[in-house]
Amino acid sequence: MALVKYNNNSISAVTATGLASGSLVLIKTLTASSSGTLSFVHGTDGVVLDSTYPIYKFEFIDIHPANNNANFQVNFRDGGTNYDATKTTTNFRAYHNEAGNDSSLGYFAAGDLAQSTSAQIIGRTIGNDNDKCGTGTLTLYNPSSTTFVKHFIVNSNTLEGSDYLVNYFIAGYCNVTAAIDGVQFSFDSGNIDSGKIKLYGIKDS
């Protein structure tokens, strides 16, 4: 189990120990600049999403929407050109507001998908004030398998437009036998104003 060490208040300064040296390999960094989508496609611009690694990790950092209260979302491609792989997910969230008078922890049924081709929301109603953004990770397991479903786990923190800090934990799978060869991030309204997403491969130990 990795030990996370926080060096300061910035997510970009978080380091993790517990992985073998060299086991986490940076594959690609995409930086948003009024971007409609950020897409990682196998075989394009150095991106690999195949059997080279059994696990792939996407780290999204300071994702800022152009539109206020926009939902940050992800979808998957299983061949072809459309990001519409069938998914089933379960969703938990914890939240606390800056006023300190409202908080909760529990199952979030409204965030689930059931055999759906829709994008999975991984950060809700993110504000577009200068200081608001979303950060987190998405881990995708064995995307090249043509035998098993493709499991993924999301852990994200967002600062909503109404000054709520929300942590989402989402587990799900793409219920397809074809390989997943593309992962796309976007907002459901407006562009990704700024931020970056890093793709890593994790080697077998």
pLDDT tens for each residue of 2-34: 444 444 444 344 444 445 545 999 999 999 999
- List pLDDT tens digits, range 37-58: 999 999 999 999 999 999 999 9
Rounded mean pLDDT of 144-152? 97
Rounded mean pLDDT of 151-164? 95
85 pLDDT band (50/70/90 cuts)?
very high
pLDDT reported for residue 204: 82
Q: How far apart are alpha carbons 60 and 191 in whole angstroms? A: 15
Enumerate the β-bridge partners of residue 187: 72
Rounded mean pLDDT of 166-195? 98
pLDDT at 80 over 50: yes
pLDDT reported for residue 14: 42
pLDDT at 154 over 70: yes
Rounded mean pLDDT of 164-186? 97
Q: How far apart are alpha carbons 162 and 35 in whole angstroms? A: 24
149 pLDDT band (50/70/90 cuts)?
very high
Using CB atoms within 10 A of its CB, is residue 190 exposed (0-12), middle (13-18) or buried (19+)? middle
CATH of 25-202, one of 1.20.1250, 1.10.3470, 2.60.120, 2.70.70: 2.60.120
How is residue 143 written in tokens? 């995307």
pLDDT reported for residue 1: 42
8 A C-beta contact, residue 174 and residue 78: yes
Segments making up each domain of the chain, as ranges: 25-202
Q: How far apart are alpha carbons 95 and 165 in whole angstroms? A: 6
pLDDT at 175 over 80: yes
Average predicted confidence (pLDDT) for the chain:
91
